[in-house]
């Protein structure tokens, strides 16, 4: 019995630590009702709920549309070191560059700055009984993750994102996928 209590205490300690690091320790929220907004009220660039359900994976849908958080260290891009850009999985809006990605130790992809600041918007998130800054895509209104002020220089910021909200476009595919204007970012050695 004592061993079980110790494990529970350690798991609880991890939950508190992940929360203090600004991440939800992979906790997923219950699915909300489907997007009931009529097409006229839906943000421009955001497909219908039926279209999103058809083309996104279940985790992509839950993260982007219902503010869920994927499991740390078990997501597609937390340890990706390839050069390229990250775009919104829903709209394709350019969001982050691999040149601004760093290992924050949280198990989620983290960035010091956005590639296109106008493609992000923020709002206060009080879902864990504390105030955090939620980051959403501007055009599709996708939930991406959270912003914290504990990042490295030069910005001191940490954009802690969900891989499920992102699609990675490698440098070799930038031109073909319509993101050729970002090629100069990768012309010099990192």
* Bridge partners, 96 (sequence order): 86
* Bridge partners, 147 (sequence order): 133, 159
**185 neighbors 97 (Cβ within 8 angstroms):** yes
| Alpha-carbon 143 to chain mean position | 7
Secondary structure letter of residue 118 according to DSSP = G
Q: Which are the catalytic amino acids?
A: 160
* Bridge partners, 136 (sequence order): 121, 143
Say how far apart CA 63 and CA 87 lie, in whole Å.
Answer: 15
How many Cα atoms occupy the beta-carbon half-sphere of 3 within 13 Å?
0
């Amino acid at each position: 019995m004592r061993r079980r209590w110790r494990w529970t205490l350690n798991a609880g300690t991890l939950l508190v630590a992940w929360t203090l690091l600004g991440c939800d320790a992979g906790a997923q929220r219950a699915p909300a009702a489907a997007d009931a907004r009529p097409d006229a009220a839906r943000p421009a660039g955001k497909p219908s709920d039926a279209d999103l359900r058809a083309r996104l994976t279940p985790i992509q849908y839950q993260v982007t549309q219902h503010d869920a958080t994927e499991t740390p260290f078990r997501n597609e891009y937390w340890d990706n070191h390839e050069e390229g850009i990250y775009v919104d999985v829903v709209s394709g809006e350019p969001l982050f560059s691999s040149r601004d990605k760093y290992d924050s130790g949280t198990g989620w992809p983290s960035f010091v700055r956005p590639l296109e600041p106008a493609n992000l918007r923020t709002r206060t998130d009080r879902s864990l009984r504390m105030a955090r800054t939620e980051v959403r895509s501007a055009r599709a209104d996708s939930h991406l993750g959270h912003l914290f002020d504990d990042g490295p220089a030069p910005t001191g910021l940490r954009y802690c994102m969900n891989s499920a909200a992102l699609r990675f476009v490698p440098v070799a595919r930038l031109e073909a996928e319509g993101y050729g204007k970002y090629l100069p970012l990768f012309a010099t050695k990192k």
